[in-house]
Structure 1
Amino acid sequence: MSDDKRRLEADRSRRQFLAYLVAGGATVPLAACTEASELSGAADEGSHNPLLWAVAWQQTAAEFGALCHQAYNVARMRLDLAIGNRRSGDKRLAVITDMDNTIIEATNYWGYLINEGYEFFDDAIWDEWIPKNLIQAVPGSRDFLMYCDENDVEIFYVSNRDQGDRTYEYALAQLELIDFPQADEAHVTVIRETSNKMAIKERVSASNDLVLMLGDNLNDYKRDYYVTDVDERYALMERDRDEYGRDFILLPNPTDGHWVRAIFGDSEPAPTDENRRILKEAATRSAWDGT
């Protein structure tokens, strides 16, 4: 280890030790106390919130936007192929799309959670946030859906939300706010009781030629992915790998979804020390030991 690295390690250890002393009520010199207090204050401001990296990426990374555009570019190429093969008398082409984090961005909600000190998804705040309509379209989503509409492709919006008796009203209002096409009762379905969208897939497939589905969660595509085992879910993904970009277009979402359920056994885990431990364990399934 170089001298500079030793100094950095020693300084970090000293600062951590001082912070522990202050937290424990020990008497230390004023300068050291101030230094440790500043460290503690930074932590109190949420600097260790596990949501920070994911939400910062969504809100600032050009790569996030590029991945969204890439997804919709692939969807358009797939749609063009289907349009080119369409013949008179064929069933009308259709796409099925999820709403949240697929065509509607919810980063504003996650930013609020961080500012308020929340570390996990909070259902009550989500229900309060929904009718505020502080939303915007996911990059590329509206252009793609407008292209569908212009080419006589039917669009079916499906969302599993539950904000009580006004759930459907809120969902429809958000689609209308961003001016998504075909946002009407014939094309918008809100499922309050379950996250299973397979009945909608079967219904649309019977009446239309279903070209593709769009979502931010593999469970949007197949119910098979609604499992509570990380390795099993990953194996299912590998089984279906040839279908991505052809039958299902996946949008990036690092904050929530059924990948969370596979880790915790619950899509909305409580902010407990045990769940923080489980999250760290998941993040270090593969970790260099430093040697």
Structure 2
Amino acid sequence: MDTQWQHTTVLLTEAIEALITRPDATYVDATFGRGGHSRLLLSKLAPQGRLIAFDKDPEAVAEASRIADPRFSIRHEAFTSIAALPPASVAGVLLDLGVSSPQIDNPARGFSFRADGPLDMRMDPTRGQSVAQWLATAEQGQIAEVIRDYGEERFAVQIAKALVARRQERGPVSTTAELAHLVAGAVKTREPGQDPATRTFQALRIFINAELEELQEALGAALDILQPQGRLVVISFHSLEDRIVKQFIAKHSREVVDRRVPFAAPRAMKLRALDRIKPSAQEVAANPRARSAILRVAERTQA
């Protein structure tokens, strides 16, 4: 791995302590990243324990190949691929959502407006459309909808108009600096301390990687592959993700009554919410990118 792009794992100890209940069992790190959680988890496992990791970023998979531990395996696949694991086969599933620091800090990946680079933003740059490619053909209404829904940006229409006007006049934007400059001209006001492009970059990244749709799918798959008393541990970094996780846990943490059959026994709940953890003040001071993180823990019931 290029040591120029370093990553500090958020809520490292808290996540692994919440995840591991049986050191001799099989666990899933569905978002390997740069391996902080996986390495600590491996240090806690018994010799017969196993860890299966997933990541669709080739750079993350390359980093994982450095782990010479027979208990560990890595799959170059999206975290939705955990659905291929056998039902009730693992004692814990960890999802650490969002973007790793090496992805943000490397201008070549196109995730950040802080340094100029190609407007890409794909978690897996070997597959699918880049943001630049999508913006080159998307209709104004589509662009506005994405920026509004995934970025919660109130100036989404103005930004979309500016992008289409720029495309018609001089061709589509192709770099992060071009996009950030265009957004800055379209956004009239912004919260103190926040770059005008923040919400737009977030929206386009979430959309191009289908992050929210994949999260919904992965949560459902995690429920299927967890053994009774197995743990689901999810770290999210913005409200859209956390809302999905919170609602998923809440939905499966209550009995379901079929109103069409009022005298039938209710279907038992499948999860039990255990905890909600925020980073400590010390962690946020050492790593400001941790400030928005929320860790939620739930346990699979016997049902």
Same fold (TM over 0.5): no
Point out the structure with the larger strand share: 2
Instruction: Give the structure with the larger helix fraction.
Output: 1
Shorter-chain TM-score tier: 0.3 to 0.5
Give TM-score, length-normalised by structure 1. 0.32
Instruction: Return the structure number with greater relative CO, CA threshold 8 A, min gap 6.
Output: 1
